[in-house]
Amino acid sequence: MSSGVLFDALARRRPDDVVFCGTDGKWRVSEVEQEIEELADRLADSRVLAIYADNSPDWAIADLAALKAATVVLPLPLFFSKSQLTHALVQSATDLVLTDQPERILDLNLGFTVGEKRRNLFWLRREVEPIELPAGTAKISFTSGSTGLPKGVCLSGAGLLETAHALCVRLSDIGIARHLAVLPLAVLLENNAGIYAPLLRGAEIHLPALASLGWRGMAGFDPQALHRKVTEVHPDSLILVPELLKSWSLFLVHSGQRAPDGLSYVAVGGSHVEANLMTQARQLGVPAYQGYGLTECGSVVSLNRPGDDGKGVGRPLPHVRVTIRDGEIHVATPAFLGYLGDPPFTSFEYPTGDLGNFEDTGRLHLSGRRKNLLITSFGRNISPEWVEAALLAQPQIAQAVVVGDNQAVLGAIVVPLPGLAAADLAAAIVGANEVLPDYARVGRWLTVEPFLVQSGLLTGNGRPVRAAILNQYAAALVALYGDQFKQYAEESVHVVL
């Protein structure tokens, strides 16, 4: 499926139809088409365009113009650390950045210079040797990273648009005429399901600044701001990660309110969603439905919906083929072309690393991961070894195991040096956090006795035995996180979108 289907969908609408609504006003069909054409001409000489900016119509229009110009797009999350930004820009050989924070890019000292400012975005260019990308690459999506230096996923435009079209087919009978983008547009799920799919449907897309939706960085998330924005916009659809759904639901309960009338569909993905959270949300007027997917598969693989809902993550969308091999979920999709810097992906099926099965009705169920990857309730992929290395780099910390799967904040089971004062341990954890991005910082910790080979908590070569440690301190972890942590040692369910 070519990118032309998006522009054909725009062309079929009336010229004065509203396409995008942002903080600075509305964009109608004729204005969007003209801006896309002008930007596409200006992008013709650029090989890789990075977009590093807050949500806005400018972000979406730049992305669409790049599709039209066949310029590869690199969406950069605002939560990336300085080292991760540098890694993504260097590995991709990006030669153009559109940003509303030019000082952050210039501070990387990668040779970018400011050329101009068009509307709200600065154009930063540099001369750099191009790299070879898999044929057909339209987008390079760097995830939050299971290590400090995440891999770039090369995706085809055809595969992304097939996903968007499949979403439209699956939800065709649900009245979605207005979508409110709550997640950052640099997150592939919102980019694809919140921009491309609504455009194919002819919907109006609201793209307010992230702060107006409640995003507060390290200060957390303000659900009251989200509720105000949903009340103001009256959207038909939203996409949330579990932590936002939980936060909003708790706000509604404590304030004695319900979700505004008119919501038809709220997709929830990014990590495991507790069944009781979905039930509570629906009782509060939030029509929440769980889905499953991952970046390598173009975002969404399966989805629940009204009239076809269950405890799992729904039926696969029509554009993918999902099979279970030795308990692992494999997905055949045209989206994934390979990882940046690696040979092109030539296998027809992508092994997801997720364990699962199909029930008799054809709905997909997840049952865990093959590896130790933690996925927070904000949908961030984190390798515990990465965070543990930062902790162990502090001389005050002797041993550490990081936890936090399906949680909003990472925790750590820490063995400090003998006799270390609590204040000194806290200072050491602050020191470790300073070298980590916001989403990978430790916010809670337990102080425990040393892990020993004799107690079964340490292997002969000095590695912590994670399952044994989690079991040993299960009660303390429940006290640290609450009852929601009880299932951690028994079942670790991961969903990557």
Whether residue 299 contacts residue 193, with contact meaning beta carbons closer than 8 Å, is answered with yes
Distance (Å, whole) CA 334 – CA 287: 30
Question: Residues 439, 406, 283, 236: what is their CA dihedral angle, to the nearest 10 degrees?
Answer: 50
Burial of 428 (0-12, 13-18, 19+ CB in 10 A): buried
Model pLDDT for residues 120-175, shown as the tens digit of each residue: 999 999 999 999 999 999 999 987 554 456 789 999 999 999 999 999 999 999 99
* Per-residue pLDDT at 9 exceeds 90: yes
Model pLDDT for residues 408-418, shown as the tens digit of each residue: 899 999 999 88
489 Cα distance to chain centroid = 25
Higher pLDDT pick, 360 / 489: 360
Distance (Å, whole) CA 333 – CA 313: 18
For 389, the token pair is 């290395």
pLDDT at 385: 80
Counting residues of the chain whose pLDDT is more than 70, the rounded percentage is 93
Model pLDDT for residues 10-42, shown as the tens digit of each residue: 999 999 999 999 998 999 999 999 999 999 999
* Per-residue pLDDT at 330 exceeds 60: yes
Average pLDDT, the chain: 89
Highest mean predicted confidence (pLDDT) among 89-98, 148-157, 241-250, 486-495 = 89-98
Distance (Å, whole) CA 361 – CA 302: 14
* Per-residue pLDDT at 461 exceeds 70: no
pLDDT at 66: 97
Residue 274 pLDDT level (bands cut at 50, 70, 90): low
The three-state secondary structure class of 92 is: helix
Higher pLDDT pick, 407 / 496: 407
Distance (Å, whole) CA 187 – CA 417: 40
* Per-residue pLDDT at 494 exceeds 80: no
Range with the poorest average pLDDT among 59-63, 299-303, 324-328, 377-381: 377-381
Model pLDDT for residues 250-269, shown as the tens digit of each residue: 899 999 999 999 999 999 98
* Per-residue pLDDT at 80 exceeds 70: yes
Domains of the chain: 4-369 (3.40.50.12780), 374-485 (3.30.300.30)
* Per-residue pLDDT at 333 exceeds 80: yes
Give the count of beta carbons closer than 10 Å to the beta carbon of residue 31.
Answer: 18
Residue 493 pLDDT level (bands cut at 50, 70, 90): very low
Whether residue 96 contacts residue 49, with contact meaning beta carbons closer than 8 Å, is answered with yes
For 7, the token pair is 């522009």
For 8, the token pair is 């054909």
How is the chain split among helix, strand and coil, in percent rounded to 5? 35, 25, 40
* Per-residue pLDDT at 384 exceeds 60: yes
State phi, psi for 417 to the nearest 5 degrees. -60, 145
Secondary structure element (H or E) that encloses residue 145, with its range: none
Higher pLDDT pick, 92 / 392: 92
**In terms of DSSP bridges, do strands 137-142 and 381-382 run parallel, antiparallel, or are they unpaired?**
unpaired
pLDDT at 247: 84
Q: Give the strand order in the sheet containing 299-303.
A: 25-28, 18-22, 204-207, 178-180, 237-240, 265-268, 288-294, 299-303, 315-316
Model pLDDT for residues 423-444, shown as the tens digit of each residue: 999 999 999 999 999 999 999 9
pLDDT at 462: 59
Tokens 């932590």 -> residue:
243
Q: Give the strand order in the sheet containing 410-416.
A: 397-403, 410-416, 442-447
pLDDT at 331: 96
Higher pLDDT pick, 278 / 235: 235
Model pLDDT for residues 181-235, shown as the tens digit of each residue: 999 999 999 999 999 999 999 999 999 999 999 998 756 689 999 999 999 999 9
pLDDT at 491: 32
* Per-residue pLDDT at 299 exceeds 60: yes
How much is the pTM?
Answer: 0.81
